[in-house]
């Protein structure tokens, strides 16, 4: 199996020159968080939402993007793609044919392929025993702070009986519209010599810190009002069944329960894709 077999050929991209606002419109319009950047038809960089959040004073994509991104060729093996994605912070790789951008492969694309392959390999070797959990009555703003401090991508929600009753992840926390409003407001106010550029009037009862410099309003209501319905796997669950659950519930991580139905860890998508290294041997 090669990169061309799993890539998405319909690539959304930005071009040089262009501005931050045009990229934000792409993110919002297509529900994505990163795009390759082309210059004269050739790939020049890649820009993510984090790039924009880290440099809110900058407007030009050429100065916001990461230049010379790692790419793969259409004829590269899926094994090579998985090795890169599972050993780096990257969640997507542009696919090129010569110097031409012809597709993109995301971690989610590989999870979809695993779901289709009916792999019976159990997920137990891909379980991460570290997972953050909170009580269902915990205020959402406190959950956001717990996830930030724990650098957690997912949070299990437990009831008073220690049963898993829901899942909270960063996709629920982060609001694209609020982030865009924040970027615009912060940019407009950053010229002040006295105001902290990370301040936002009217946020007295709201958490404004979430992961690095991402900002989102978080209410005091209990997390049970916002959580996703719970889904989970067991250590003996097959890789393909786990992948199907991730896709159907739009999860990058999924909790793992032990034989007593207590939360014992989680499976991350970037760990699960390594199952293809076994079947590609």
- The model's pLDDT over 108-126, given as tens digits with 9 standing for 90+, comes to 999 999 999 989 999 999 9
pLDDT in tens, 20-49: 889 988 988 888 888 999 998 899 999 988
Report d(CA 38, CA 32) in Å as an integer: 17
Q: Which helix (H) or strand (E) holds 87?
A: helix 78-87
Q: How many angstroms from the chain centroid is the CA of residue 185?
A: 25
pLDDT at 216: 47
Q: Which helix (H) or strand (E) holds 53?
A: helix 49-54
pLDDT at 153: 80
pLDDT higher for 182 or 207?
182
Backbone angles phi, psi at 279, to 5 degrees: -75, -15
Closest CA to 167 of 222, 228, 251: 228
pLDDT at 217: 60
Please check the confidence at residue 174 and state whether its pLDDT lies above 70. Answer: no
Q: How many angstroms from the chain centroid is the CA of residue 184?
A: 23
Please check the confidence at residue 199 and state whether its pLDDT lies above 80. Answer: no
Report d(CA 277, CA 279) in Å as an integer: 6
Please check the confidence at residue 168 and state whether its pLDDT lies above 70. Answer: yes
Contacts of 87 (CB under 8 A, 6+ apart): none
**Domains of the chain and CATH, by start:** 3-117 (3.10.580.10), 123-174+208-279 (3.10.580.10)
pTM (whole model) above 0.85: no
Please check the confidence at residue 193 and state whether its pLDDT lies above 50. Answer: no
Cis before 2? omega within 30: no
pLDDT in tens, 144-156: 888 878 888 889 9
Structure tokens of 231? 């889904």
Closest CA to 102 of 24, 41, 29, 15: 41
Of the listed ranges 81-90, 166-175, 213-222, the least confidently predicted one is 213-222
Structure tokens of 9? 């050929």
Query: 266: which strand partners?
Result: 128, 255
Residue with tokens 């390759």: 36
CB 4 within 8 A of CB 95: yes
Closest CA to 234 of 254, 214, 248: 254
Please check the confidence at residue 205 and state whether its pLDDT lies above 60. Answer: no
CA distances from 106 to 13, 90, 133 (A): 14, 9, 28
Please check the confidence at residue 185 and state whether its pLDDT lies above 70. Answer: no
Handedness of CA 145, 149, 155, 160 (dihedral sign): negative
CB 179 within 8 A of CB 215: yes
Report d(CA 265, CA 131) in Å as an integer: 5
Instruction: List the 253-257 sheet strands across, edge first.
Output: 127-128, 263-268, 253-257
């Amino acid at each position: 199996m090669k990169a061309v077999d799993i890539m998405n050929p319909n690539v959304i991209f930005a071009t040089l020159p262009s501005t931050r606002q045009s990229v934000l419109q792409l993110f919002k319009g297509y529900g994505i968080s990163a795009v390759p950047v082309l210059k004269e038809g050739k790939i020049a960089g890649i820009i993510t939402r984090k790039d924009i959040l880290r440099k809110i004073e900058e407007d030009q994509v050429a100065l916001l993007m990461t230049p010379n991104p790692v790419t793969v060729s259409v004829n590269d093996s899926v094994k090579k793609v998985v090795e890169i994605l599972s050993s780096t912070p990257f969640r997507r790789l542009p696919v090129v044919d010569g110097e031409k951008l012809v597709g993109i492969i995301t971690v989610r694309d590989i999870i979809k392929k695993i779901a289709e392959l009916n792999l019976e390999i159990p997920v137990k070797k891909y379980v991460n025993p570290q997972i953050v959990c909170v009580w269902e009555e915990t205020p959402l703003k406190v959950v956001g702070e717990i996830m930030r401090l724990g650098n957690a991508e997912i949070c299990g929600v437990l009831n008073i009986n220690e049963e898993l009753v829901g899942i909270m992840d960063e996709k629920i926390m982060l609001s694209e519209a609020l982030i865009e409003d924040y970027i615009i407001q912060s940019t407009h106010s950053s010229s002040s010599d006295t105001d902290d550029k990370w301040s936002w009037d009217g946020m007295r009862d709201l958490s404004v810190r979430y992961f690095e410099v991402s900002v989102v309003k978080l209410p005091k209501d209990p997390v049970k009002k916002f959580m996703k319905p719970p889904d989970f796997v067991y250590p003996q669950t097959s890789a393909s069944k786990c992948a199907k659950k991730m896709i159907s519930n739009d999860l990058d991580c999924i909790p793992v329960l032990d034989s007593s139905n207590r939360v014992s860890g989680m499976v991350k998508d970037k760990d699960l894709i390594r199952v293809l290294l076994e079947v590609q041997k």
